[in-house]
Amino acid sequence: MIETLKARAAALRPELVRMRRHLHQHPELSFQEYETAAFVASELDKLGIVYEKGICGTGVVALITGRNPGRKCIALRADMDALPIEEENETEYTSRNKGVMHACGHDVHTSCLLGAAALLQEYRDQFEGTVKLIFQPGEEKNPGGASLLIKAGVLENPAPSAIYGLHVYPQLPAGTTGFRSGQYMASADEIYITIKGKGGHAALPQQTVDPIAVAAMVITGLQQVVSRKSNPLSPTVLTFGKIAGGHATNVIPNTVELEGTLRTFDEDWRREALAHVKQITSQICAAYGAEAIIDIPDGYPSLFNDPETTQQARSFAEDFLGADRVKDLDLRMGAEDFAFYTLHTKGCFYRIGTSRNGGQYTQPVHNSRFDIDEEALQTGAGLMSYIALRALGC
């Protein structure tokens, strides 16, 4: 099966390039993927694959049924949204939507899943079970399209016993892939703190509650959560990327605003760390007569790759690509809303290399010059269909 599937994936290459370039030229922001979803639907129509669209706005969920469709279901997921970045590449497929760019490769993920759909539809007489294809909105934006789709029932009727997702990875060359079982990506919670003091004349601090001085202590105090409260064996990051308050050398302002992010790899510790953040902030503020208003909206959980599912997928990748083209990945402090699926079902989130040996296409994701070696598309589509076929007992 491997050689014929590889040949089919190679034959699909012009289609994969066409789809990826179309999506790359027409990027849409999170939860606004209307044309992208319509494009996905039209490609599924061409393949004769049934789907439901408009889920949570722009989500598309399709089913490919093999023999004995009730036996087992697995899910394959792609995200569809782009980023508010002005593309700086000059290619024939540069973004035509000013200020919006597929700088995280979600155009690649969507094309690879459409390619895998084409291959699986061809092979549907050869596997037993059902493949659920999830084209997801809003990966880049809280609360994450995955969390909304799960609430809308995407993991039911039929319920997949495993879910797989891929992501572009410029650190590896096209034609290779990377896996990590167990903890892989961090949780990410956004933290918004307003410190309310009492403003006044800078020369008369005794008549004020200076929120800038209190903010400095809050930031320093909160670093204790990382250095003294967290287990050194479990990575934790707390960064405040924004502090805003005041406007003149001689005026003490009324308020200061802090915005930051907490990253962890353990869901129990994540909850505990957020409780520490709230408690330390409130108590430092109270000690100096200021008031803390703390807002921490639900963020993305940490991503845990089920060890058995991931080791199995890794061995399928070795069979398909050759062992020398399958690499181990490091822990990653970035977050990914695929993690929501892994709270409900066994998941495997893996990487496909997108750079070219010799140093081309090495710009990182979320960069205005990010691009890929399109060789990666057939690897992505071919391997994803192969993993699905093997997971369903082919």
For Ni ion, give the closer residue by CB, 102 or 276.
102
Only one of the segments 103-111, 151-159, 206-214, 373-381 lies at the binding site for Ni ion (rule: CB under 5 A); that segment is: 103-111
* Residue 352 beta carbon to Ni ion: minimum distance, rounded to whole angstroms: 12
**Catalytic one of 139, 140, 189, 266:** 139
For Ni ion, give the closer residue by CB, 58 or 65.
58
| Chain position carrying tokens 């066994």 | 346
For Ni ion, give the closer residue by CB, 81 or 189.
81
* Residue 337 beta carbon to Ni ion: minimum distance, rounded to whole angstroms: 9
For Ni ion, give the closer residue by CB, 78 or 214.
78
* Residue 106 beta carbon to Ni ion: minimum distance, rounded to whole angstroms: 6
- Cα–Cα distances in Å, from 331 out to 190, 218, 260, 347, 383? 20, 29, 21, 16, 23
Only one of the segments 8-16, 55-63, 98-106, 210-218 lies at the binding site for Ni ion (rule: CB under 5 A); that segment is: 98-106
Please say whether the beta carbons of 55 and 126 come within 8 A.
Answer: no
* Residue 104 beta carbon to Ni ion: minimum distance, rounded to whole angstroms: 4
- CA dist 75 and 392 (Å) reads 11
> Nearest residue by C-beta to Ni ion?
104
Q: Of 223-252, which residues contact Ni ion (CB under 5 A)? A: none
DSSP H or E segment with residue 145: helix 145-151
Report helix, strand or coil for 25.
helix
| Interaction between residue 117 and Ni ion (CB under 5 A) | no
* Residue 138 beta carbon to Ni ion: minimum distance, rounded to whole angstroms: 11
For Ni ion, give the closer residue by CB, 8 or 102.
102
Only one of the segments 50-58, 90-98, 101-109, 341-349 lies at the binding site for Ni ion (rule: CB under 5 A); that segment is: 101-109
* Residue 253 beta carbon to Ni ion: minimum distance, rounded to whole angstroms: 38
Report helix, strand or coil for 197.
coil
> Where are the alpha helices (H) located in 233-374, listed in sequence order?
267-287, 307-321, 338-342
Total interface residues for Ni ion by CB under 5 A: 1
86 is catalytic: no
For Ni ion, give the closer residue by CB, 40 or 104.
104
**Catalytic one of 15, 33, 81, 107:** 81
Ranges of beta strands (E only) in the chain are 50-55, 59-65, 73-79, 130-136, 162-173, 177-179, 182-185, 189-196, 200-201, 237-244, 251-252, 255-263, 291-295, 303-305, 326-328, 346-355
Binding pattern for the stretch 7-46 against Ni ion, x by CB under 5 A and - elsewhere: ----------------------------------------
For Ni ion, give the closer residue by CB, 138 or 246.
138
* Residue 367 beta carbon to Ni ion: minimum distance, rounded to whole angstroms: 12
For Ni ion, give the closer residue by CB, 210 or 374.
374
Please say whether the beta carbons of 77 and 137 come within 8 A.
Answer: no
Number of CB atoms found within 10 A of residue 128's CB: 15
267 is catalytic: no
Only one of the segments 19-27, 100-108, 307-315, 324-332 lies at the binding site for Ni ion (rule: CB under 5 A); that segment is: 100-108
- CA dist 146 and 152 (Å) reads 10
Closest CA to 83 of 55, 106, 110: 106
Only one of the segments 26-34, 90-98, 104-112, 245-253 lies at the binding site for Ni ion (rule: CB under 5 A); that segment is: 104-112
* Residue 81 beta carbon to Ni ion: minimum distance, rounded to whole angstroms: 9
- CA dist 60 and 66 (Å) reads 20
Only one of the segments 29-37, 99-107, 111-119, 319-327 lies at the binding site for Ni ion (rule: CB under 5 A); that segment is: 99-107
Give the burial class of 83: count Cβ atoms within 10 A of its Cβ; 0-12 exposed, 13-18 middle, 19 or more buried. buried
Give the burial class of 42: count Cβ atoms within 10 A of its Cβ; 0-12 exposed, 13-18 middle, 19 or more buried. exposed
Question: Using the rule CB under 5 A, which residue among 5, 19, 104, 188 binds Ni ion?
Answer: 104
DSSP state of 153: T
- Cα–Cα distances in Å, from 27 out to 39, 83, 107? 12, 8, 8
Please say whether the beta carbons of 325 and 175 come within 8 A.
Answer: yes
Q: Can you give the binding site for Ni ion, defined by CB under 5 A?
A: 104
Catalytic residue ranges: 81, 139
